[in-house]
């Protein structure tokens, strides 16, 4: 019984990680790539570094230009 619980928990964590990274990638393609590039730079970093991307996928970033 314990191994099933551990396997289930490991699967749920893995799925949460895959979802977070995928959400980060999806949100990257949703940006307009107009100045200010803060959000785009953070999302691209998250694609290249999956641990960062997993967290970034769950965050909302305001990308406003302050001209």
Q: Write out pLDDT tens, residues 10-27.
A: 999 999 999 999 999 999
Range of the domain at 45: 2-56
What is the reported pLDDT for 65? Answer: 57
On whether residue 27 sits in a domain, the answer given is yes
Domain total for the chain? Answer: 1
Q: Is 64 a domain residue? A: no
- Tell me whether residue 31 is in a domain: yes
Global pTM reads 0.81
pLDDT at 1: 57
What pLDDT digit, counting tens, does each position of 28-57 carry? Answer: 998 888 888 888 999 999 999 999 999 999
The mean of the pLDDT values for the chain is 89
Long-range contacts of residues 42-48, Cβ cutoff 8 Å, at least 24 apart:
46/21, 47/21
Do 60 and 32 form a contact (C-beta atoms < 8 A)? Answer: no
Dump the DSSP string for 23-57: HHHHHHHTS---S--HHHHHHHHHHHSHHHHHHHT
Residue 6 has pLDDT above 80, yes or no: yes
Is residue 34 situated within a structural domain? yes
In a domain, residue 61? The reply is no
Is 32 contained in some domain?
yes
């Amino acid at each position: 019984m314990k191994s099933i619980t551990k396997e289930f928990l490991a699967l749920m964590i893995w799925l949460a990680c895959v979802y977070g990274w995928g959400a980060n990638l999806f949100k990257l393609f949703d940006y307009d790539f107009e100045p200010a590039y803060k959000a785009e730079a953070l999302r691209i970093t998250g694609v290249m570094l999956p641990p960062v991307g997993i967290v970034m996928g769950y965050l909302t970033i305001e990308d406003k230009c302050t001209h």
